[in-house]
Chain A
């Protein structure tokens, strides 16, 4: 230990400052001996004059590897750093250390003053800040929406996990490239508007995920300002509302369905009323031909109401078909009989050429309803067509390469490409308010369920040909 207590040489006012300063102040010699210590230091670490700083501060037996006092002795300059010291009761205390040289008259470093401040409150704040940051990071990453932050050029500066999963990690890319595969900014871009007016903006956008799937998003933007209040970035938060939009579409379709079905049922009820009127008045007036006509009318309309209800049941819920081993010839004959009188009344020739095609596992009612739908569709195509003098519908069934092949062919109005493409879409009808738009949709669905295919060949003015191929001996799905 070299030198005497330097604090003793201080003027009284400085001594008061030395002792009462709200920090630990010590003076050390080259070997680390404590030459002076203020009251604050003594109050915490006890009277330590003459002891080595590393023993007192850290209860170590050798100097600390990053000792700032040693550094100041070495280069004569002030040093600083944070350390953790151990209190006599074993608690740890984080401190911020500043050292400064006390020079001897010859300019050498005679001793070093060390000022240390307890930074426990700062550390607590730091920890809170870290936790907050982590919480915000989690929120940013895990929130169930896409978040990206864009700069003024609309380049993505940051994006969250959800965004990266669906659109990829394209930091630095333009948002319109990533979101919409566009070469230029979108019209009415909400991010650009927020940069302009500093306000939050909302919009609905249809974007494309990296797997090509379209995603409906509801976008909100918010400005991110720097310390001086200028907008540096804009945050874009997009909620995926694809499922909501799909649900809305289904609800709209349901509305269409209710409308078209109620319209259809009203027409059939009128036919039923007609049948009952003919029956009643035929009986009253004793006119058997009227009774017969009325009875036929009632049966026809009841049959059609049944078919509408079956159609409705078919689309109302997915259900497993009630499989039976049935003769396709019987089913096809039944379908032909159901439409024959309607064809005759419209002056349309029905040519039937049905061969024995064997049995298959099928749901007879659904399959027959599908054939009826195809035949009625052909009938309508002929009714609408005004260009030809005579109309005919050909219905054939035969066995071919292990398949039962049923063909419904008409020389009616025919279909253009657009109609052909939408043919099996629910609620699509080329017959205006007349069609429910369900017949071919359900026929197609039923045929697919039977493991078959439905192929359409048609041209405007020429007519249409629907080919059903059903695998024979199909086993019902397990």
Chain B
């Protein structure tokens, strides 16, 4: 990893944002965080992250709604997104996502850090190739 890549962590629960940012920084990533689902698109445009870790269940709008917006907006269309969810009903999650392109990965809470690390590497690698 030459230039540190920036990963944006979106979760309405501040503890999760602090946790993932600390962990990512320990791995050598640059990070930024957002607690508010409504602000994700603006923050992403401003911060220009290389990857987004996106919580699915947030109070004002769901991560899936945010994802839909990201896919609509021009500059963020190619931004890889990893969903992080505590939802038990993955079927529902799948169908809600179906008209949209698949996210880079889906990670369930509580988070398996090794799995997430691998998913982040794959997502960023994929982006590097395109």
* A interface, CB within 8 angstroms of B: 259, 262-264, 266-267, 269-275, 277-278, 281, 290, 293, 297, 300-301, 345-346, 380, 383-384, 386, 431-435
Q: Do A383 and B19 have beta carbons less than 8 Å apart?
A: no
Is B90 interfacial (CB 8 A cutoff)? no
For chain B residues 52-104, which have a beta carbon within 8 Å of chain A?
56-60, 62, 86-89
Subset of 8 A-B contacts with CB under 8 Å = A266-B110, A269-B109, A270-B13, A270-B111, A297-B15, A380-B59, A383-B60, A434-B59
Given A433-B57, A434-B12, A263 contacting B38 (CB threshold 8 A): no
Q: A263-B86, A297-B18, A433-B57 are in contact. Are A281 and B26 (CB under 8 A)?
A: yes
A274 near B15 with CB under 8 A, answer yes
The answer to whether B18 touches A270 (Cβ under 8 A) is no
Whether B57 pairs with A434 at a CB distance below 8 angstroms is: yes
B103-116 CB mask vs A (1 if < 8 Å, else 0) is 00000111101000
Which 7 A-B residue pairings sit nearest by Cβ, starting from the closest?
A274-B19, A266-B86, A271-B15, A433-B57, A269-B110, A266-B109, A270-B109
B19 and A271: CB pair below 8 A?
yes
The minimal Cβ–Cβ distance linking B22 to chain A, given in whole angstroms, is 6
Q: What CA separation (Å) do A264 and B38 show in the bound complex?
A: 22
Decide: A433 and B22 in contact? CB cutoff 8 A.
Answer: no
Report whether A432 and B15 are in contact in the complex, using a CB–CB cutoff of 8 Å: no
Is the beta-carbon distance between A384 and B59 smaller than 8 angstroms?
A: yes
How far, in whole Å, are A429 and B110 apart by their CA atoms in the complex?
Answer: 23
Q: Are A274 and B59 in contact (CB under 8 A)?
A: no
Q: Nearest chain B CB to A386's CB is how many angstroms away?
A: 6
B interface, size bucket:
20 to 34
Contact B109 A274 (CB under 8 A): no
B88, A262: Cβ atoms closer than 8 Å: yes
Q: Which of A267, A386, A431, A435 contacts B16 (CB 8 A)?
A: A267
Known: A259-B88, A266-B86. Is A271-B13 also a contact (CB below 8 A)? yes
Task: Give Cα A273 to B109, complex, Å.
Answer: 10
Q: Mark B19-51, 1 if CB is under 8 A from A, else 0.
A: 110110010000000011010000000000000
B14 proximal to A (CB < 8 A):
yes
* Contact (Cβ within 8 A) B22 A281: yes
Chain A residue with Cβ nearest B58: A434
User: Are B19 and A267 in contact, CB atoms less than 8 angstroms apart?
Assistant: no
Task: Let me know if B111 and A433 touch, CB within 8 A.
Answer: no
A277 touches B19 (CB 8 A): yes
Cα distance, A259 to B63, chains bound together (Å):
18
In the complex, A433→B86 CA distance in Å? 10
Known: A266-B110, A274-B20. 19 other contacts (CB 8 A): A263-B87, A266-B109, A270-B86, A271-B13, A271-B15, A272-B110, A274-B15, A274-B16, A277-B19, A278-B19, A278-B22, A293-B18, A301-B15, A384-B60, A386-B60, A433-B57, A433-B87, A434-B12, A434-B58
Query: Closest CB-CB distance, B94 to chain A, in whole Å?
Result: 15
- The distance from the CB of B121 to the nearest CB of chain A, in whole angstroms, is 19
Quick check: A432 and B19 within 8 Å, CB to CB? Answer: no
A contact residues around B110 at 8 Å (CB): 266, 269-270, 272-273
The CA-CA distance from A114 to B55 in the complex, in Å, is 104
Chain A residue nearest to B26 in the complex (CB): A281
Determine if A431 and B18 form an interchain contact, defined as CB atoms under 8 angstroms apart: no
Q: Give A67 Cβ to nearest chain B Cβ, in Å.
A: 90
Given A267-B109, A277-B22, also A432-B16 (CB < 8 A):
no
CA distance A14 to B34 in the complex (A): 120
Nearest CB in chain B: distance from A212 CB, A: 38
Chain B nearest CB: distance from A23 CB in Å? 84
- Chain B residue nearest to A297 (CB atoms) is B15
The complex places the Cα of A346 from the Cα of B14 at a distance, in Å, of: 8
List the A side residues contacting B19 at CB < 8 Å. 270-271, 273-275, 277-278, 297
Contacts of B111 in A (CB 8 A): 270, 273
Cα separation A133 to B36 with both chains bound (whole Å):
75
Q: How far is the CA of A380 from the CA of B59 in the complex (A)?
A: 8
Taking the nearest CB of chain B, how far is it from the CB of A382, in angstroms? 11
Pair A300/B57 contact, Cβ less than 8 Å: no
A310–B20 Cα distance when bound, in Å, is 29
Chain A hits for B14, CB < 8 A? 345-346
Separation of A434 and B16 alpha carbons in the complex (Å): 14
CA distance A380 to B57 in the complex (A): 14
